[in-house]
Chains A and B, each alone.
Chain A
Amino acid sequence: MSGAIVIGASSSWARALVKISPYTFSAIGIAISIGVSVLGAAWGIYITGSSLIGAAIKAPRITSKNLISVIFCEAVAIYGVIVAIILQTKLESVPSSQIYEPESLRAGYAIFASGIIVGFANLVCGLCVGIIGSSCALSDAQNSSLFVKILVIEIFGSALGLFGVIVGIIMSAQATWPSKV
């Protein structure tokens, strides 16, 4: 196989790694993209939600405005879903003779990397927005003029998830499987 020429002198670990099917990597990447994004969103929502519920007992007026924090966290999960759907459309089947070609491997790794990028960027974004949302709810309960100012911080925080999505989608554009001969 031509693959063997490429990796002729490398160690047995490298040889073992390239013998893992690129579809494995792709599938794991897609799973991470949706799974870890949802983990981040859920983490953020519970951090915000518990503070919001407690603060709303003394100051019921804050509930409707502070749901925006929860919506920002939810958006993070939606990014993960969108990227997972895009990634799974990039999967194509190649004939078994070409599974271990460098082109196939590259496509597999690209989908994997894209999944990791999106997953972990959304994880920390969800956490960030959640913690700020909690502080926002507590501050709003004490002084309602603070809400809009802290919301600006949250918007910057949620931009982090967007960066991850953008880079992930650019990365997934690299996922071109070898054309059938």
Chain B
Amino acid sequence: MYGFEAMTFNIHGGYLEAIVRGHRSGLLTAADYNNLCQCETLDDIKMHLSATEYGPYLQNEPSPLHTTTIVEKCTLKLVDEYKHMLCQATEPLSTFLQYITYGHMIDNVVLIVTGTLHERDVQELLEKCHPLGMFDSIATLAVAQNMRELYRLVLVDTPLAPYFSECITSEDLDDMNIEIMRNTLYKAYLEDFYQFCQKLGGATAEIMSDLLAFEADRRAVNITINSIGTELTREDRRKLYSSFGLLYPYGHEELAVCEDIDQVRGVMEKYPAYQHIFGKLSYGESQMLDKAFYEEEVKRLCLSFEQQFHYGVFFAYMRLREQEIRNLMWISECVAQNQKSRVHDSVVFIF
């Protein structure tokens, strides 16, 4: 019953919710980011980060550091925290936590398949995969030639199996098809996750619906913008949009026929929730759109912490950590390439 979660949530979820809120207090603040933005070298960054919670993970790294090492160690911290929570969780929280990683699994699958297509070494690709999305038979993906084999050999045993029903074709894998496959899988995953949250009910359903709807809408806009000028037909484009969210169904109808960014803007400005995002961009500019979307996402994720006794805090924490790792990667790259003036182009402050 919505409103009475407080009476029974803490039986199974109280301890883990308190832990995740403790982790949240360790996210880097604006003051930390200001310090990091003023660093001259990667060693300075390492020194500043050793004062934060990333200390134990970076202190044994030898200089000279690479940006990939920093990102890898920070991701390792996220993975450790996630695994600790997952092993303490009971149903349905454990299923919920696993759902959060399916997006990374999809990204890993696409990474390996694309890399194989371009004749890269499997070991090298495996090292680039996101650790949260690893599963046992992932190396076998390099063997598959088309999607039916991909499914039959590898994916039927993974949690991604139910998402494949819409995209099994006998066509060979090429770049275009792989992108379509990625988006179709992600669409199925988002819808499945949404249904799961609706079944959980209560505050979790309400908060997760909002976060997932924003995700679905953002993906719809990105798909539209990325497919302007490509061979993707309108029908195909429409098939990639999720069947929930603020834009469903009328926004999707309008987005499917958009041919340039200004038309997309025209469609999105009809929705008050997205109007202010698009209002920040001047006409014809789309580079800042990513950052505007990230800022909006971070704002909504932080708001989910305002309520207690629901699972949305776990999802929000994972996403905020990922945003922080993206920020650190951008700052490290800017410092390493001596482009510190561009640092603030893409860093989204969380607090």
Interface, chain A (partner B; CB < 8 A): 43, 46-47, 50-55, 57-59, 127, 131, 134-135, 137-138, 141-142
Contact = CB atoms under 8 A, between A and B. Distances in A.
A48 to B, nearest CB: 8
Interface in B1-50: 6-7, 10-11, 14-19, 21-23, 25-26
Contacts of A138: 17-18, 21, 308
B21 A141 contact: yes
Nearest to A143: B25
A50 B18 contact: yes
**Majority secondary structure, A binding face:** helix
A127 B25 CA distance: 27
Contact of B7 (A127, A135, A137, A141): A127
Contact of B16 (A43, A54, A127): A54
A54 B11 contact: no
A46 B11 contact: yes
Contacts of A142: 21, 25
A118 to B, nearest CB: 21
Contacts, number: 62
A131 B6 contact: yes
Contacts of A52: 18
Contacts of B25: 58-59, 141-142
A47 to B, nearest CB: 5
Contacts of A131: 6-7
Nearest first, the 8 closest Cβ-Cβ pairs linking A and B are: A54-B18, A58-B22, A50-B14, A55-B18, A54-B15, A47-B10, A131-B6, A50-B10
B17 to A, nearest CB: 7
B26 A51 contact: no
Contacts of A46: 10-11, 14
Nearest to A132: B6
Contacts of B26: 58
Given A55-B19, A134-B308, 10 more contacts: A50-B10, A50-B15, A52-B18, A54-B19, A58-B25, A59-B25, A131-B6, A134-B10, A137-B18, A141-B25
A53 to B, nearest CB: 6
A152 to B, nearest CB: 19
B6 A57 contact: no
B7 A54 contact: no
A135 B26 CA distance: 19
Contacts of B10: 46-47, 50-51, 134
